[in-house]
């Protein structure tokens, strides 16, 4: 068994939204350069396969799939944030396939855990709409693949600084996929309020905790300790997926959080421990945002070290007044659904 499988491909570098766009090819090339310069024992790098039409259709409408396919080989502007180049469609299909393949390898026991190092990112893509740098929703497509392969309960944790509106929309009325997000709020894309908890059979299976800018490693630690981890442990997932965006890093130009690479490693450690206790360590990360090249590459490297078993990180103690208030708002919204949060 491979300890940590890394799935990536040069095609991801050919997705180019244009000069000065923050979601640039250098994001991934810097990650790979650092992994080459400072290799991590226990990792194996492999090329992924493209997603099938059936896998894309499990999340996205025919209209969206046809619209994106029509952009193949062309420069197109979907919205002011979301642009394509001639190779973008093929890169997006491959990114979705890499995410599915990571799940397949982990569920089959051929890899202990996996990281899909892909572009374009995915968590803003809604079932019928591409937006926010995202074409297809990689983590949602992977979750649907996991369900088809027999995982009864899938946990998606989204630590990107922007709320994953697309992932939330995909599973809003369902309880077989538990969606958790910590993000800057209010902020793009103007979703992720604590009262957004799902509806119908899915009521209580969407957990949002949004904070104003300035949150630290210790603040995130308090949220994990008193909100996310108790619910995750009660849920007992068969697989843990992570929308791993690194734009909450203190050097990131697009947001205002104050995380360090050790904070990301602490989150990865906590989720790895959830996976180890609930589902034989089945953990898969998919790359989302992160626009400081140094902060992104260092934070990804720190997480891969955790996944490969080289390090474990813990959160520093302490919590700010703002983070404590955000925690309380989310706990109050979710108490009716989760007894571990009190009544």
Element at 299 (helix H, strand E): helix 293-307
Distance CA 239, CA 274 (A): 10
d(C-alpha 311, C-alpha 266), whole Å: 10
The catalytically annotated residue of 60, 123, 124, 249 is 124
DSSP secondary structure string, 39-85?
--TTEEEE---PPPHHHHHTTS-HHHHHHHHTTTTS-EEEETTEEE-
Asked if 136 contacts 92 with a C-beta cutoff of 8 angstroms, the reply is: yes
For residue 21, indicate whether it is catalytic: no
Which DSSP string do the residues of 320-333 spell out, in sequence order?
-HHHHHHHHHHHHH
DSSP symbol at 310: S
Rounded-to-integer distance, Cα 231 and Cα 342, Å: 11
Catalytic residues: 124
């Amino acid at each position: 068994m491979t300890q940590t499988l890394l799935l990536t491909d040069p095609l991801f570098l050919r997705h180019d939204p244009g000069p000065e766009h923050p979601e640039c090819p250098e994001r991934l090339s810097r990650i790979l350069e650092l992994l080459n310069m400072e290799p991590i024992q226990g990792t194996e790098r492999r090329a992924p396969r493209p997603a099938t039409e059936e896998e894309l259709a499990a999340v996205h409408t025919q209209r969206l799939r046809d619209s994106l396919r029509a952009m193949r080989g062309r420069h197109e502007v979907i919205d002011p944030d979301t642009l394509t180049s001639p190779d973008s469609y093929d890169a997006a299909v491959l990114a979705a396939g890499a995410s599915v393949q990571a799940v397949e390898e982990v569920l089959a026991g051929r890899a202990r855990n996996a990281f899909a190092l892909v572009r374009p990112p995915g968590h803003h893509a809604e079932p019928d709409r591409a937006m926010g740098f995202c074409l297809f929703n990689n983590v949602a497509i992977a979750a649907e693949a996991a369900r088809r392969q027999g995982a009864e309960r899938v946990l998606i944790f989204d630590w990107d600084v922007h709320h994953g509106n697309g992932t939330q929309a995909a599973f809003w009325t369902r309880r077989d996929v538990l969606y958790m997000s910590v993000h800057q709020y209010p902020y793009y894309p103007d979703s992720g309020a604590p009262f957004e908890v799902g509806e119908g059979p899915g009521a209580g299976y969407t957990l949002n905790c949004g904070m104003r800018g300035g949150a630290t490693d210790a603040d995130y630690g308090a949220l994990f300790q008193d909100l996310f981890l108790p619910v995750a442990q009660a849920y007992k997932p068969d697989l843990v997926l992570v929308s791993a965006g690194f734009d909450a890093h203190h050097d990131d130009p697009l947001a205002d959080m104050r995380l360090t690479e050790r904070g990301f490693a602490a989150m990865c450690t906590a989720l790895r421990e959830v996976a180890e206790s609930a589902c034989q360590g089945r953990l898969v990360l998919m790359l989302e945002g992160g626009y400081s090249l140094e902060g992104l590459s260092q934070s990804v490297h720190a997480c891969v070290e955790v996944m490969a078993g080289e390090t474990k990180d813990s959160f520093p103690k302490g919590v700010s007044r703002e983070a404590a208030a955000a925690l309380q708002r989310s706990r109050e919204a979710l108490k009716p659904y989760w007894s571990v949060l009190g009544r």
